[in-house]
Amino acid sequence: MKLVVLDGFMMNPGDLGWEELGSLGELAVFDRTPPELTVERAKDAEAVFTNKVVLGAEQIRQLPRLRYIGVLATGTNVVDIPAATARKIVVTNVPAYSTESVVQMVFAHVLNLSFGLADHTRGVREGRWQRSPDFCYWDQPLIELSGKIMGLIGFGRIGLAVAVAARGFGLQVLATSRSIPRYVPNEVRLVSLEEIFRLSDIVSLHCPLTPETRQIINRKHLAMMKPLAWLINTGRGPLIDEQALADALNSGKLAGAGLDVLATEPPKPDNPLLTAKNCFITPHIAWATVQSRQRLMRTVVANLRAFQEDRPMNVVRE
């Protein structure tokens, strides 16, 4: 079986191995594939693996030997699922591999905002502490999390894990979900979306990107939030109207934001959030710990092996 990985660098920049996947077929790995080379590189493959390289209806049409598409991530928007289904091509993804790492990033941003870690570290490097007449200094109110309210938009695996961690910091937790959650701890209160915005000191996004949730953070909802509230997004960039958020931060209608995702990645130089007040952006790395990528690799291999044994798992359907 000929296997082609179109963009393997992000999952494995060199600290993991491809040997186990390679044991399942004749493997070719490309670090990155530009759109114009997608069909050329995959034309003889029976199984193609992609993270961000698009396999749309046109590309699938030109790959007559293709029987299997393995998405090296959870989101499958890069694959035209109906076109694959029409060809009886099995598409799989890797769910829930990064939950622990994403929770860690949520609170990395929360803790940064609570103590102004990035700004105070920068100030020390610039000599502020050395010149201080006192033994310490701070440039902004320092916030204790205990007793504050964290509101979660979306309450799947990651939302639940964030809730558990939040309780460890003494936070009260509210959550809202379009579907009925499988499990809700006693310490978590389910409320409406409007109550999340009105009551929360921290709003964290954990919902899927759908037509209904696209730009769920907009001017109307931002206006409902407390002026001292923070917004955290480790989900999907398009959940946020970026100009509306930048305006809220710059005008003082919102106190801060911690973002690991943006609507366009890498961002364009004119993205208003790059210069917004008290907006801290990390380059979509919540998923990328070594341990998380190891779990990802193991599941990618297990998915293909299950397909070869005619018992496919983690199949994505229309």
Q: State the Cα–Cα distance between residues 5 and 27, nearest whole angstrom.
A: 8
Q: 265 an active-site residue?
A: yes
Q: State the Cα–Cα distance between residues 43 and 48, nearest whole angstrom.
A: 10
Q: State the Cα–Cα distance between residues 109 and 143, nearest whole angstrom.
A: 13
- The residues pairing with 71 across neighbouring beta strands, listed in sequence order, are 50
Q: State the Cα–Cα distance between residues 5 and 28, nearest whole angstrom.
A: 6
What is the SS3 assignment for 150? strand
Closest CA to 237 of 274, 211, 265: 265
Question: What's the full length of the chain, in residues?
Answer: 318
Angle at 304 between CA 298 and CA 309, to 5 degrees: 120
Tracing tokens 């082609």 back to the chain, one arrives at 4
List Cβ neighbours of 177 (8 Å cut-off, separation of 6 or more): 154, 155, 156, 159, 190, 207
Can you list the alpha helix ranges (DSSP code H) found in 51-140?
57-61, 81-86, 99-115, 117-125
Q: Which one from 198, 284, 298, 305 is the annotated catalytic residue?
A: 284
Are 227 and 251 within 8 A, CB to CB? Answer: no
Closest CA to 67 of 94, 40, 45, 93: 45
Q: State the Cα–Cα distance between residues 55 and 38, nearest whole angstrom.
A: 8
List Cβ neighbours of 194 (8 Å cut-off, separation of 6 or more): 224
Q: 284 an active-site residue?
A: yes
Q: Which one from 236, 242, 293, 295 is the annotated catalytic residue?
A: 236
Active site residues: 236, 265, 284
